Amino acid sequence: MQRTYELMFIVRPDLADEDVDKVISTIEAQVTSAGGTLKNVERMGKRRLAYLVRNFADGLYILFTIEGPGSAISEVERRLRVTEPVIKFITVRVDQEQKRLGKVKAIRDSRRRGQGTHAQAAAAEAAQTAEPPAEQAPAQA
Amino acid sequence: MADETVQQPQAPAASEGGSPRPQGGRPPRSGPGGGPGGPRGERKYFRRKKVCKFCTEKIDAIDYKDYRLLGQFVAESGRIVPRRLSGVCTPHQRRLSRAIKQARNIALLPFGSGSRP
Side-chain-side CA neighbours of A40 within 13 Å: the count stands at 10
What part of B 65-104 touches A (C-beta under 8 Å)? 65, 102, 104
Look up the domain containing B17 and give its range. 2-48
Mind listing the pLDDT tens digit for each residue in B50-81? 888 888 888 878 889 988 999 999 998 999 99
Q: Does B62 lie in the same domain as B16?
A: no
Look up the domain containing A74 and give its range. 3-95
Q: Report the C-alpha gap between A70 and B107 in whole angstroms.
A: 24
B116 near A CB under 8 A: yes
Give the ipTM of the model, two decimals please. 0.74
Helix (H) or strand (E) holding A43: strand A37-53
Task: State the total domains in chain A.
Answer: 1
Q: Calculate the dihedral angle through the C-alpha atoms of A64, A69, A75, A77, rounding to the nearest 10 degrees.
A: 40
Q: Does B37 lie in the same domain as B89?
A: no
Interface touch B111/A51, C-beta < 8 Å: yes
Chain B residues with beta carbon closer than 8 angstroms to that of A52? 115-116
Side-chain-side CA neighbours of B69 within 13 Å: the count stands at 17
Task: Please tell me the distance in Å from B14's CA to the nearest CA on chain A.
Answer: 49
Interface touch B102/A53, C-beta < 8 Å: no
Is residue A87 a part of any domain in this protein? yes
pLDDT of residue B111: 92
pLDDT at B115 over 80: no
A108 or A6: whose pLDDT is higher? A6
Q: Report the C-alpha gap between A81 and A104 in whole angstroms.
A: 37
Is residue A19 a part of any domain in this protein? yes
B61 near A CB under 8 A: yes
Q: What is the pTM of this model?
A: 0.67
Task: State the total domains in chain B.
Answer: 2
The mean of the pLDDT values for chain A is 83
Q: Does B88 lie in the same domain as B34?
A: no
pLDDT of residue B14: 44
Is residue A127 a part of any domain in this protein? no
Q: Does B57 lie in the same domain as B43?
A: no
Closest C-alpha to A9, from A94, A20, A29, A17: A20
Q: Does B65 lie in the same domain as B34?
A: no
How many C-beta atoms lie closer than 10 Å to residue A47's C-beta? 15
For residue A14, give the CATH number of its domain: 3.30.70.60
For residue B80, give the CATH number of its domain: 4.10.640.10
Q: Does B62 lie in the same domain as B104?
A: yes
Q: Report the C-alpha gap between B109 and B97 in whole angstroms.
A: 12
3-state class (DSSP) for residue A21: helix
Q: Does B108 lie in the same domain as B86?
A: yes
Interface touch B107/A97, C-beta < 8 Å: no
- Is there a contact between B83 and B54 (Cβ–Cβ < 8 Å)? no
Mind listing the pLDDT tens digit for each residue in A65-75? 999 998 989 99
